[in-house]
Structure 1
Amino acid sequence: MNRAGASEVPGLFDVAGKRVVVTGGTRGIGYMIAKGFAEAGARVAISSRKPEACEAAVGELSAFGDVVAHPADLATEEGVADLAAFVAGTFDGVDVLVNNAGATWGAPLEEFPAAGFDKIVNVNVKSVFLLTQKLLPQLRAAASIDDPARVINVGSIDGLGVSGTDNFSYGASKAAVHMLTRKLAATLAREYITVNAVAPGPFPTKMTAFLLDDPELKSEVEGTVPLGRVGSPEDIAGTAIFLSSRAGAYLTATVIPVDGGTSGTR
């Protein structure tokens, strides 16, 4: 209740007008999050390594709200700087930064190449740090004690527990993302910038298509999830919107599993 006695609950999850950046926003979980923000009235900028993917995603997402895109290879420092410059020229402040861009690599232990570590760590960890660093002026411009700027890093349940796949660098990188989240949160809290992570379980994405496109394998995956299904776009977008709204303003340094209970049973 506010001082006048009227309920503030209807506005708790309002993100209308917020300036949101979603990396890797042209497909998968990034696309789901970007679409959710656009539908909720936010202004959204997305990125992808491929220009054609950016163009296609903007064509689709613009039907739901205000969305722009910029191609950038976040595996390189030049790509991070290029995206940061685009964002600075598009928004005078950044209310929400969603560091979602990521990659995976699988190979048997004896055959796992050094390149499989370099690429995954660069994209999944280093780019999260560098882009957050580059966008600090825009995050600071948007931050206030009552409505902090938000950084949301996309980790994974593979960074919380051991899976049965040979994705050695992926799991290690996502565990690093979770710790980086806590370190950034501790550093930026005094500036009214919150930093949290979401750790998705199985969702229908390109990374999981080899499993979820096969009905038998999909059934096996669903059987490992206590809630009995894979995640939906609403599940992950809703969590990101919660963290970005007044309802999530007092959370920082958290890692939220969005996995139907999977991580709790590993």
Structure 2
Amino acid sequence: MNIENLFSLQGRSALVTGGSRGIGRMIAEGFLRAGARVYISARKAEACDAAARELSAIGPCVSLPADVSTLDGIHALVAAYQKHEPTLDILVNNAGAAWGAPYAEFPESGWDKVADLNMKTPFFLTQALTPMLKAAATDHLAKVIHIASIDGISVNPWETYSYAASKAGLIHLTKRMAMTLAPQRVIVSAIAPGPFASEMNKSARDHADEVAQRTPAGRIGTPEDMAGAAIYLASRAGDYVVGSTLVVDGGVAWAR
């Protein structure tokens, strides 16, 4: 058993949606340090380009700006990626949205935007990239990692109805997709993050000490915590984790 090879991503290609900041960027940096060629996508081209430039100091990182909330945007991203690589080893479906509003006032727009990006997009982007994932699965397995949330596992104190429901749906979708794709040498799994500093989780970002007090581990998550989980699932080490969701939250989901 070679421990270095167990967690290595040397020579592999990875596409990370929502990769310009937050959890997506943490994963992109981890993959680069593990030896992968990384392509990051984000809706805002300027931010995506800037992040790729900064990450290129670590390893090969390419910006592929796209709006993956629509099927047209998904197909545009796939076409852009195909100009660089013939196959895809690792797909991280991280792009997401949240919406909070009181129950009596919760709008349809806050439902559709969140449910589409958090649940529909991972399905259709993976579907579109499946031929490239299967083509990559030669002497190793191809990997798809969905980024869910502990809010899809336990109930948070905020009125984020569509967010919680979409993340719970994504966790179950992970199981269903895994059953379809595992025989084709494409392994689907998920990560359910807890408090990590990001635009999505402003409380962890702006009030880390306060959030840490509610976290059994006594702190918010670090880039190493997220990168470690993603590298594990993406590498040979995670080959036998099929359809499962890895909870990376310092114990918050159970403390609730």
TM-score, length basis structure 2 = 0.97
Pair 1:243-2:237 in alignment: no
Pair 1:154-2:155 in alignment: no
Distance 1:224 1:210 in 2: 12
Say which SS state the counterpart of residue 11 (structure 1) adopts.
helix
Instruction: Give the corresponding residue for 1:40.
Output: 34
Code of the aligned partner of 1:117: W
**1:88-237 alignment runs, 5 A limit:** 88-144=82-138, 147-214=140-207, 218-237=208-227
Distance 2:87 2:32 in 1: 17
Distance 2:182 2:201 in 1: 35
Which of the two has higher C-alpha Rg? Answer: 1
> What's the CA shift for 1:219?
2.8
Say which SS state the counterpart of residue 34 (structure 1) adopts.
helix
Say which SS state the counterpart of residue 73 (structure 2) adopts.
helix
Code of the aligned partner of 1:118: D
Say which SS state the counterpart of residue 72 (structure 1) adopts.
coil
Say which SS state the counterpart of residue 135 (structure 1) adopts.
helix
Say which SS state the counterpart of residue 194 (structure 1) adopts.
strand
> What's the CA shift for 1:17?
1.2
Say which SS state the counterpart of residue 17 (structure 1) adopts.
coil
Q: 1:20 aligns with which of 6, 14, 17?
A: 14
TM-score, length basis structure 1 = 0.93
**1:78-89 alignment runs, 5 A limit:** 78-89=72-83
Code of the aligned partner of 1:240: A
Instruction: Give the corresponding residue for 2:4.
Output: 10
Q: Is the 8 A contact 2:195 2:204 kept in 1?
A: no
Pair 1:252-2:242 in alignment: yes
Distance 1:85 1:97 in 2: 15
Pair 1:69-2:44 in alignment: no
Say which SS state the counterpart of residue 39 (structure 2) adopts.
strand
Which runs of 5 or more residues in structure 2 are unaligned?
Answer: none
**Deviations 1:93-150, CA, capped at 9 Å, x for gaps:** 1110000000100111111100000000111111100100000111000114x52100
Code of the aligned partner of 1:176: G
> What's the CA shift for 1:71?
1.2
Distance 1:211 1:70 in 2: 28
Which runs of 5 or more residues in structure 1 are unaligned?
Answer: 2-7
> What's the CA shift for 1:210?
4.3
Code of the aligned partner of 2:5: G
Structure 1: which 4+ aligned runs deviate by more than 3 Å? none
Distance 2:184 2:45 in 1: 35
Distance 1:35 1:122 in 2: 27
